[in-house]
Structure 1
Amino acid sequence: MATTAQPPTTPNDYSSVTKTLDLLAPRWSVWVLMTLSSQPLRYAEIKPRLPWLADGQLHPRLRHLTNAGVVERTEYAPRHVTYGLTGRGAELLPVLAVIASWGDTYLEKQLVTSKATGELEPERIPPAQNIDDTITLIAPRHATPILMTLQARGRASAKALATEAMPGYGLTAVYKPLDRLVADGLVTVTGSDDFQLSASGQALAPVFQAITTWAVLPSAGTDPLRRPGTAPSKTRSGTWATTPTRLPAPAIPAASSAGPALATTPPPDGPAWKSSDLFSHQIPARPITPAGGPRR
């Protein structure tokens, strides 16, 4: 039987987490944020660190993050412009570390042959890719409210989830996102046809807590995604993809891995990343998931 206890989360919590995931979801946005994590950079300094992005892809990512208030564009002269993290952007880095840690722990990895030992071992995935793949699982529409509702309730029927996580929608609308979450290994079906989180779904609690805490910081003002004083860029022309495809990136030449480390301040248990972590790995396509585990 589904539990009926009043959940501690609210629609506002769902909205805050969803808005933050919408900010991070456009492909390569996380990579841009982490590239700027150490210091402000000019466009010509960012581009070599993300060599697979064409000019038409990098500019929209910078504009998207600037409009969201996590990146600021500083113009010193007509041909001297830098991009760097705002205060809100810097506060987002520990949240990214929590997301990366979950992805590294729970997303499936292919086995590769170790060059040192010749034995099979799980492939090494860069933190930015772990973040991207995790967000791809939890950012689709209605996924966050369903997952957070199940975290609060323990288990719930489809009808209860439709009522609480998707108000205004009919009962049948809840089955498509539920089926996807089950296929991704984040939700399981009980013997009484209720739904509950899998072990990996339950482990998302620190991720949602970190995102919620960041989104509702008092310094964020009335808009949970923008701190006062970090006005968006005056340039608002152009569009960017909000639901980009997840195609493999081209292989990165060895020389592209060079460069200063990307300093962050992740939680003690979170991963620390540097330029070699970000760029030494070719972005994998997401294989079909084995039954019972979240897919990459």
Structure 2
Amino acid sequence: MATTASPHATPNDLSSVTKTLDLLAPRWSVWVLMTVSAQPLRYAEIKSRLPWLADGQLHPRLTHLTNAGVVERTEYAPRHVTYGLTIRGAELMPVLTVIASWGDTYLEKALVANKTTGGMEPERIPPAQNIDDTLALIVPRHATPILWSLQARGRASAKTLATEAMPGYGLTGVYKPLDRLVADGLVTATGTGDFQLSASGQALAPVFQAISAWATAPAPGARRPRGQGPAPSQNRSGPWATTPTRVPAPAVPAGPSAAPALATTPPDAPAWKPSDLFSHQIPARPLSPAGGPRR
């Protein structure tokens, strides 16, 4: 029997989360953010780190992220322009760490032979790909409102979800996004007509908490404070200091590394090697779900 208690989250929280997901969802946006996370870079430097992106793909991503207030365009001279993270962009890096941790834990990985031992082991997926594949599961229309509602209720009928997560669509409209979430392994049917989150769906709670905390935090000015070093992603403040990840977040490599990194963690946390982001061929589409969703 479905519960009837109202969800604890407010509509403003959910709206802020979906807007943040819309910010991150366009393909390669996360890769661009991570590329400029260590230090501001010129356009040609970004392009050399994302060689598979044509100008027609990279320039719109930079414009999109700049307009969203997470990337700052600084013009020193007509032909000397750099792109780097704003304060808001730097504060978004720990959120990406949480999303990457969920993807690394719950998304499928193909077994590949270890080049040294010959033994089979899970494929090592670049963090940015884990983020993109996770977003592909929760960004589709109505997916997050349904997951949000089930997280608050525990379980609910399709009728309750249609009313709460998809007002105005009617009962029949809820089944397509529900079926997708079930196929992706985030939601399960109870057998009594109700639906509830799977274990991997429940584990999305830290992801939504981190996104919500970032989205509802007061937005500072887009300009960096004086004296800030070249790696704004190393500064952790605000709600992120109290938003734990499932897996210790990787540390930022020392020095002006050519490869991007996510946010700083305690000194004993494992570091991501410079090749982590680009160590795999970029698939045209994420792997199909088998044992764990990866679109």
* TM bin (shorter chain): 0.7 to 0.9
SS of alignment partner, residue 64 of structure 1: helix
**CA distance, structure 1, for counterparts of residue 272 and residue 63 of structure 2:** 24
1:58 corresponds to which residue?
58
**CA distance, structure 1, for counterparts of residue 146 and residue 166 of structure 2:** 8
- Once the two structures are TM-superposed, the CA of residue 295 in structure 1 deviates from its matched residue by 2.9
1:11 corresponds to which residue?
11
Query: Which one-letter code corresponds to 2:70 in the other structure?
Result: V
**CA distance, structure 1, for counterparts of residue 212 and residue 271 of structure 2:** 22
Contact 1:184 1:289 in 2 (8 A): yes
Contact 1:73 1:82 in 2 (8 A): yes
1:255 corresponds to which residue?
none
- Once the two structures are TM-superposed, the CA of residue 283 in structure 1 deviates from its matched residue by 2.0
Q: 1:178 to 1:8 in 2, by over 3 A?
A: same
What is the number of equivalent residue pairs in this alignment? 261
1:84 corresponds to which residue?
84
- Once the two structures are TM-superposed, the CA of residue 174 in structure 1 deviates from its matched residue by 0.7
**CA distance, structure 1, for counterparts of residue 6 and residue 122 of structure 2:** 41
1:233 corresponds to which residue?
none
> What's the CA shift string for 1:15-36, capped at 9, x where partnerless?
1110001000000000000000
**CA distance, structure 1, for counterparts of residue 150 and residue 51 of structure 2:** 41
Contact 2:72 2:85 in 1 (8 A): yes
Q: 1:272 to 1:198 in 2, by over 3 A?
A: farther
Query: Which one-letter code corresponds to 1:280 in the other structure?
Result: S
TM-score by length of 1: 0.84
Contact 1:95 1:210 in 2 (8 A): yes
Query: Which one-letter code corresponds to 2:274 in the other structure?
Result: S
- Once the two structures are TM-superposed, the CA of residue 169 in structure 1 deviates from its matched residue by 1.7
1:89-108 superposed matches below 5 A:
89-108=89-108
Contact 1:100 1:271 in 2 (8 A): no
- Once the two structures are TM-superposed, the CA of residue 294 in structure 1 deviates from its matched residue by 1.9
Q: Mean alpha-carbon deviation: is it higher for 277-286 or for 104-113?
A: 277-286
1:223 corresponds to which residue?
none
Contact 1:71 1:83 in 2 (8 A): yes
**CA distance, structure 2, for counterparts of residue 204 and residue 267 of structure 1:** 21
> What's the CA shift string for 1:43-85, capped at 9, x where partnerless?
0111110010011111000000001000010111110000000
Q: 1:29 to 1:271 in 2, by over 3 A?
A: farther
For structure 1, list consecutive stretches of 5 or more residues without a partner in the other structure. Answer: 221-226, 231-257
Give identity over the alignment, percent.
80
Give yes or no for the alignment of 1:110 onto 2:110: yes
Report the aligned-residue RMSD: 1.9
**CA distance, structure 1, for counterparts of residue 222 and residue 88 of structure 2:** 10
SS of alignment partner, residue 276 of structure 1: coil
For structure 2, list consecutive stretches of 5 or more residues without a partner in the other structure. Answer: 224-255
Contact 1:97 1:272 in 2 (8 A): no
- Once the two structures are TM-superposed, the CA of residue 143 in structure 1 deviates from its matched residue by 0.6
> What's the CA shift string for 1:197-227, capped at 9, x where partnerless?
1100000000000000000002x2xxxxxx4
TM-score by length of 2: 0.84
**CA distance, structure 1, for counterparts of residue 25 and residue 91 of structure 2:** 18
Q: 1:63 to 1:271 in 2, by over 3 A?
A: farther
